[in-house]
Structure formats: C-alpha cells, structure tokens
Amino acid sequence: MELMTAIEARRSIRRFKNDPLPRETILSILDAARLAPSGKNMQPWRFIVVQNKARKEMADILHTALENRRAGGVASTGSAENTFRIMAEAAATVFVFSRRDVFHPEAREINDYVTSLVDAQSIGGAIEHMLLRATELHIGSLWIADTFFAYPELCAWLEEDSLLLAAVSLGYADEAPEARPRRTLEKMVKWQE
C-alpha cells in the first residue's frame, strides 16, 4: 500500500470482530514501531501485548479502575468507559511504556524534563508507525490515552513501574467509519518567509 493511501485510509476503529490476530501480524505491527525514529536513537518504548485469556483479566481491571475513580470522587471519567469497552472487544491491546517516569512535579531538572518530552514525541511516532502498518495489513486500530483513568491498576497488573503513556487496541474492524473532519492547512500553517 502506498504510504499516503495508508495515511488517508487509517481510521480510529471502535468496533472489532471477535477473531484473534495471528502473533506474526502483531509482531509485524510492532516491528514498524521498532523502526521509528527517536530522540538520540534512545528507542524509549517498551510494549506489553495483552491478548487471549488475559483480555478478560484486563477488562476486569479496567472496570475496577473506573469504580475506583468514581469512588475517589472523579466526577467525569470522560470517554474512558467507552474506550474500556473497546479495549475489551479488541483482539489485542498493546500497552506502550516509556522507559522512565520523570513527569512528577519535582522533575523540573531541565535535562530530565527535556528527556521526558523527547521520549513522549518518540513514542508518539512509534505509535503512528504501528497504526499505519496495521492499516496496510487491513487491521483496525485505536490509539488510546484513556489508560490514564486506570493508571495504577494497569501498572500493578502489568507489573511495570515505568511510564504508561498509551495503548493501542488492534483487531479486525467491524465498522468502516467515514473520515473524521480535519481543519484545513490554512488554519494551521503560518509561513514565515
């Protein structure tokens, strides 16, 4: 598939069929992430793939996390409830970690701060590589940041203490959404020349 065709064809998929994905397909998608550029070539990402029977455990964790947030007084969990339903439905969810967590309030030492921001950019690029490769393989995908609503529960369950930045759910799409609107280039580009 031509790159621009994949860019134009990609959609966030929120309905998945209940068919598992071959491990080679997931590996091929992760390999696209592996090849992404990163600041100083640090390749700060780490992936945990949840699939098969671990999906049910994950769904329970997400459900509990939402209850915990509500019990803790979080009035709005935003789109998390719907996102967690999608994650439970997808054949596989890739949790994307950054190698360290220096976003806590004391981490104001410039080098740590810069490293965090650079790592986050690198990981964003790696995730986009995943989505485009998935599109090329006719696999539906969803980039997810609602994982922050289940942050402590997911990190404990996945036994990771690095920074959980995002997740990507993958599976065979059970919907074919229209392209979502985008602002025009005129509205987002200023030329200084």
Ligand X SMILES: Cc1cc2nc3c(=O)[nH]c(=O)nc-3n(C[C@H](O)[C@H](O)[C@H](O)COP(=O)(O)O)c2cc1C
Q: Quick one: 13 exposed, middle or buried, by C-beta within 10 A (0-12, 13-18, 19+)?
A: buried
Cβ distance to ligand X smaller for residue 24 or 181: 181
Give the DSSP letter string of 45-87: EEEEEEETTHHHHHHHHHHHHHHHHHHTT----TTHHHHHHHH
Query: Contacting ligand X (CB under 6 A), which of 6, 9, 38, 143?
Result: 143
Query: Contacting ligand X (CB under 6 A), which of 12, 38, 121, 162?
Result: 12
Compute the least distance from the CB of residue 2 to ligand X, in Å. Answer: 18
Cβ distance to ligand X smaller for residue 143 or 172: 143
- The window from 6-14, 89-97, 106-114, 150-158 that contacts ligand X (CB under 6 A) reads 6-14
- The window from 89-97, 108-116, 132-140, 142-150 that contacts ligand X (CB under 6 A) reads 142-150
Residues 6+ apart with CB under 8 A from 9: 1, 135
Measured in degrees and rounded to the nearest 5, phi and psi for residue 45 equal: -85, 160
> What would the x/- binding string for ligand X be over residues 66 to 105, using CB under 6 A?
-------------x---x----------------------
Q: What residue ranges bind ligand X (CB under 6 A)?
A: 11-12, 14, 79, 83, 142-146, 180
